[in-house]
Structure 1
Amino acid sequence: MRIALTVIQAIVAVILITVVLMQPSKTNGLSGLVSGGTGESFYSRNKSRTSEARLSRITVICSIIFAVLCLLQNIIK
């Protein structure tokens, strides 16, 4: 049982690392300072339907699964 949890945790960890690295940066850098930030646009209103939102949801789900697996492994000890 413990070996199976370790294998599943390793797979979830690789997926979590991959999904986090695929996400775009949230900072605007100097362009946000000069232009004053972004305004209301079609993209910002429909952000929940984009691939960025999907990656964010996958990140949250994988991190919850990873945390639960860590707790289970410590309980089983």
Structure 2
Amino acid sequence: MAVLKIILTVVFIIISIALTVIILMQEGKSAGLGAIAGAADTYWGKNKGRSMEGRLVTGTKILVVLFVVIAAVLNLGIF
């Protein structure tokens, strides 16, 4: 059981570091002056999910879920 706790702790630390890096790589949510003026969506705006930014957002969501699950498992006290 102690080995499993050590492995989960190491994975938890790696996920924490990866989550920090991915969050810092993301752009801000401000859309610029075009959003204030009511400009139409651009091709890039419509296909943002397929871009690098979209992948970062998806990766962030997956890592957050893993982070919360592993944190809960480590704090249950079953190890």
What TM-score range do you get, normalising by the shorter chain? 0.7 to 0.9
* CA shift for structure 1 position 32: 2.5
1:16-45 deviations in Å (ceiling 9; x for gaps) = 0000000011124xx538952542111111
Pairs aligned (count): 75
Helix, strand or coil for the counterpart of 1:2? helix
- TM-score, reference length from structure 2: 0.82
- TM-score, reference length from structure 1: 0.84
Structure 2 regions of 5+ residues with no counterpart? none
Report the aligned-residue RMSD. 2.0
Q: Does 1:11 align with 2:8?
A: no
Helix, strand or coil for the counterpart of 1:40? coil
Structure 1 regions of 5+ residues with no counterpart? none
Aligned position for 2:43: 42
Q: Does 1:2 align with 2:20?
A: no
Aligned position for 1:70: 71
| Dislocated runs of 4+, deviation >6 Å | none
Aligned position for 2:54: 53
Percent of pairs with identical residues? 31
Name the amino acid aligned to 1:49.
R
